[in-house]
Amino acid sequence: MRHSLTRTKSVEQSMADTDEPGSQLKKSLSWWDLTVFGVSVVIGAGIFTITASTAGDKAGPAISVSFIMAAIACGLAALCYAEFASTVPVAGSAYTFGYATFGEFLAWILGWDLILEFAVGAAVVSKGWSSYLGTVFGFSGGTAEIGGLDVDWGALLIVVAITALLVLGTKLSSGVSAVITAIKVTVVLLVIVVGFFYIKTSNYGPFIPKSEPTESGGSSVESTLFSLMTGGGDSNYGWYGLLAAASIVFFAFIGFDVVATTAEETKDPKRDVPRGILFSLGIVTVLYVLVTIVVTGMVSYKDLATSAGNGEAKNLAYAFGLNGITWAEKAISIGALAGLTTVVMVLMLGQSRVLFAMARDGLLPRGLSKTSKFGTPARIQLIVGGVVAVVAAFFPINKLEEMVNVGTLFAFVVVAAGVLVLRRTRPDLSRGFTVPWMPVIPILAIVSCVWLMLNLSALTWIRFVIWMVIGVAFYFLYSRRHSMVGRRERGEVASVDSQALSKSPPV
């Protein structure tokens, strides 16, 4: 019997589990649906909020370089995700891939990590949605004091609505997402075209502003880990600021990996999942870089700093307002509201699919893996909706974006390493897509993602370690004993049979 920490779940068993009665997801998505999901989740908080504020506070006009650096890391990881998802088209994304290559314990760590990424991400973005709701309809945000508590009813409203939509069906959610995505892409193109005529080339200088110390001065937990390691201290702008900005704007790309979580619901996953991942990432990268060039050309980076004006973080609408383009400012707010809607939707979709896969494997209570008459994991979706709604409505979590980044980057590192392992251990598997230039691309993906992780703040790392310690405790107290792989090894349940094997990928 293998050690419980390193026992793996075979690709054949993962495929056989997708046909388990009562736990089957409906296959209804095409490559176009997946591309829409990818674009809809990536174009949101990042392009409407992080672009301007990070340029003002960290990188200056060089923010476009920061976006390119983040996009390269994502692109390398995307190639690895595409190969894995086309080889093991099962719900769970990095969690499922990790189970097939590195074993149960690391798979659990990845699943626990993805819970952090999707749940915190959905809560943070839903609060952003609430703030834009007030901007669009002319009131001061979607918050109110109830019983002595500040309740973000706007965030609560969007989470409840999205939960209901996801329970009713993934295809329906995709249709709604397509309409909303069309609206926000139109707004992004409007930003690029209109903003182009207000560019002042003088705003691009200096392209990489001279490094400036922050208010805290020297080293602190707010400094990046790389800065602390190299004695760079706590500073904005300069090369340290440029690198820190790349790690922050990485948040703007988070979500393309959600496409991999829908592999089990795709009609032709070997063809469509790689297309969905790569097409969506390519589209948003072009749009992001164009927007950063426009916004830093329209307004001096100094005017986009949090310390400027009212002392609040600046966004795209603010940049257009400074140029007197008030109608565009309103249009951007509407686009942001639409954009954030689909981000919340797809993050909550990804969260439920990861939990679904973990529950089906017994690492979470098995009863949660039952699907409804709509072919969706309704129980888990309702739980996810409830947790995200409570966190978003009652807790001030706007400073936890970096927690999402470190969790996602960690998953990317493991997936890239997993491609190397699976190529060596299972060269016989049928792959709908293969990473080119092996092993260079996966190695570069690992190096670039680790590099971005080092440029996140030390405080983010402390929080991440605490979250992981809690996850490890849960695994040893519950998951290890209830694991379906472990129960099969002990003879408590039947293993994959010949019929199931016949449904596995051809070799």
Which amino acid is located at 158 in the chain?
A: I
Over residues 388-401, the mean pLDDT reads 77
**In the prediction, which pLDDT does 507 show?**
31
**In the prediction, which pLDDT does 197 show?**
92
Whether the pLDDT of residue 171 is over 80: the answer is no
Whether the pLDDT of residue 383 is over 90: the answer is yes
**In the prediction, which pLDDT does 385 show?**
92
Over residues 68-85, the mean pLDDT reads 86
How far is 329 from 163, CA to CA, in rounded Å?
A: 30
Over residues 247-276, the mean pLDDT reads 76
Highest mean pLDDT pick, 255-269, 287-301, 384-398: 287-301
**In the prediction, which pLDDT does 141 show?**
59
Answer yes or no: are the C-beta atoms of 88 and 96 closer than 8 Å: yes
More confident residue, 322 or 446: 446
383, 401, 473, 93: CA torsion to nearest 10? 70
Q: For residue range 317-333, what is the model confidence (pLDDT) as tens digits?
A: 788 888 888 887 778 87
DSSP state of 146: E
Could you please report the per-residue DSSP string of 362-430? TSS-GGGG---TTSS-HHHHHHHHHHHHHHHHH---TT-HHHHHHHHHHHHHHHHHHHHHHHHH-TTS-
**In the prediction, which pLDDT does 386 show?**
93
**In the prediction, which pLDDT does 475 show?**
95
Q: For residue range 153-168, what is the model confidence (pLDDT) as tens digits?
A: 888 999 999 998 888 8
- Find, among 316, 319, 312, the residue nearest to 287 by Cα: 316
Whether the pLDDT of residue 455 is over 90: the answer is no
**In the prediction, which pLDDT does 234 show?**
57
Phi, psi of 212 (to 5 degrees): -130, 135
* CA 48 centroid distance within chain: 16
- SS3 of residue 151 by DSSP: strand
Sign for the CA dihedral angle at 196, 198, 199, 203 comes to negative
**In the prediction, which pLDDT does 420 show?**
92
Confidence band for 503, pLDDT divided at 50, 70 and 90: very low
More confident residue, 137 or 230: 137
Whether the pLDDT of residue 505 is over 60: the answer is no
**H or E stretch at 165:** helix 153-168
Highest mean pLDDT pick, 99-103, 207-211, 340-344, 437-441: 437-441
Question: Mind listing the domains of the chain with CATH numbers?
Answer: 11-361+368-501 (1.20.1740.10)
Q: For residue range 224-260, what is the model confidence (pLDDT) as tens digits?
A: 666 666 665 556 788 878 888 887 787 777 766 777 6
The tokens for 478 are 């519950």
Confidence band for 395, pLDDT divided at 50, 70 and 90: confident
Whether the pLDDT of residue 398 is over 60: the answer is no
Whether the pLDDT of residue 506 is over 50: the answer is no
More confident residue, 106 or 399: 106
**In the prediction, which pLDDT does 215 show?**
59
Phi, psi of 139 (to 5 degrees): -135, 170
Confidence band for 222, pLDDT divided at 50, 70 and 90: low
Over residues 310-317, the mean pLDDT reads 71
**In the prediction, which pLDDT does 1 show?**
44
How far is 130 from 469, CA to CA, in rounded Å?
A: 32
Confidence band for 142, pLDDT divided at 50, 70 and 90: low
How far is 227 from 59, CA to CA, in rounded Å?
A: 15
Q: Tell me what percent of the residues of the chain surpass a pLDDT of 70.
A: 83
Q: For residue range 14-66, what is the model confidence (pLDDT) as tens digits?
A: 878 777 766 667 777 788 888 877 787 777 656 776 788 888 888 889 999 99
Confidence band for 269, pLDDT divided at 50, 70 and 90: confident
**In the prediction, which pLDDT does 456 show?**
79
More confident residue, 425 or 260: 425
Indicate the average pLDDT of the chain.
Answer: 80
**In the prediction, which pLDDT does 364 show?**
93
